[in-house]
Amino acid sequence: MDKSLQEILQEAAEKFAAAADSHALYEAKMAFLGKMGRLGALYKKLKELPESERPAFGAQINELRRAIEERVAVIEGMLHARELSARLEGERVDVTMPGRRRRQGTLHPVTRVKNMLIDVFAGMGFEVFEGPEIETDYYNFTALNTPADHPARDMQDTFYLADGLLLRTQTSAGQIRMMEQKKPPIKMLSPGRVFRSDDDATHSPMFHQMEGLVVDKDITLCDLQGMLDEFARVIFGKESKTRLRPSYFPFTEPSVEVDVSCHACGGKGCSLCKGTGWIEVLGAGMVNRRVLENCGIDPDVYSGFAFGMGIERIAMLKYGINNIKLLTENDVRFLEQFKD
Ligand code: DAH
């Protein structure tokens, strides 16, 4: 072979040997054997030669082509073998490997708190009663001593439906349904969704409440506070205390607002409790005589207490959640923080 052709072969052999994989080898191969490659240029040159010189040069080019093809084939074989064994290695199944774990879900913080509350009160003998979310005006307001013209109706921005129906604004409606069905002694816990036209960082148009009702002979405000103390200890920690402040609800008399000592600062005063050492947690009171009468229970024989709390509010206080929207956005990164 001509010296210049020898050099091309040498160059090709070096390029092929340097190819890292079969794709690179293909590129290198095309640079020599392709139409636009080095051999292509030689064939072009062949055409320009005088006829007498063509056969000899043509034979040389063909020899070069075969030599190049041979080299390519050798390297190609090597690379294929290497790539195949790498693929087999990569796809090898190790039957002794442990299975892949499925990501486990967690209970929603509202559900967790609801379950905790049920645990506390079920342990004290309360039974769970769930009333309907679509209520009549009577159960949600009138029977709870809140007739149509009562100013306390303005405390709750109600979604009214047709025909005297509404979305219940409070689980207190369950008290009436319970007392109509069952005579004392009653110890009822009523969790559920409630609805109000209200929407900001701490209010949502739909939220959850937990209602409690106890009716029996000789029930007093002390019984209420004793049970709430236990509730506060379980939910907010052993050192928690409660205090009652006078308030007003149409369905209780007297009515109280229940504060729990601040679990963040232990009552010393911090930003969570706005420096007071106390956090308002729920409403409660002694069941109003009129409410008992509305349900056919003699208020001279029986007395009772009731309480109602927002479950989101308890969850937000307990876990330090500052925006109620986080509880309905279903962002897994947020929700999975509430593990056992
Ligand atoms: N229903 C009241 C509310 O939604 C909370 C409440 C207050 C419930 C006092 C009660 C109670 O049972 O006695 O604001």
In angstroms, what is the span from residue 283 Cα to ligand 1's centroid?
Answer: 5
- Residue 229 buriedness (CB in 10 A; 0-12 / 13-18 / 19+): middle
User: Which pLDDT tens digit goes with each residue over 252-281?
Assistant: 999 999 999 999 999 999 998 999 999 999
Q: Which of 121, 171, 248, 249 to mutate to test the pocket of ligand 1 (most atoms within 8 A of CB)?
A: 249
Ligand 1, atom nearest to 169 Cα: 4
Q: Which of 213, 251, 288, 311 to mutate to test the pocket of ligand 1 (most atoms within 8 A of CB)?
A: 251
Which residues form the pocket of ligand 1, taking CB atoms under 6 Å from any ligand atom? 170, 172, 211, 249, 252, 283-285, 306-308
| Range of lowest pLDDT (89-98, 107-116, 193-202, 292-301) | 89-98
CA nearest ligand 1 atom 6, residue: 308
pTM of this prediction exceeds 0.85: no
Q: Among 315, 252, 321, 309, which Cα is nearest to 283's?
A: 309
Q: What percent of the chain has pLDDT over 70?
A: 100
Mean pLDDT of 95-122: 92
What is the C-alpha separation between 323 and 249, in angstroms, rounded?
Answer: 27
What is the C-alpha separation between 289 and 247, in angstroms, rounded?
Answer: 17
CA nearest ligand 1 atom 12, residue: 307
CA nearest ligand 1 atom 8, residue: 308
- Is the confidence at residue 283, as pLDDT, over 90? yes
- Is the confidence at residue 340, as pLDDT, over 80? no
User: Which pLDDT tens digit goes with each residue over 219-263?
Assistant: 999 999 999 999 999 999 999 999 999 999 999 999 999 999 999
- Triad 110, 114, 118: Cα angle to 5°: 170
CA nearest ligand 1 atom 7, residue: 283
Mean pLDDT of 22-35: 92
The number of residues making up the chain comes to: 340
Ligand 1, atom nearest to 212 Cα: 12
What's the confidence (pLDDT) of residue 173? Answer: 96
Pairing of strands 252-261, 278-287: antiparallel
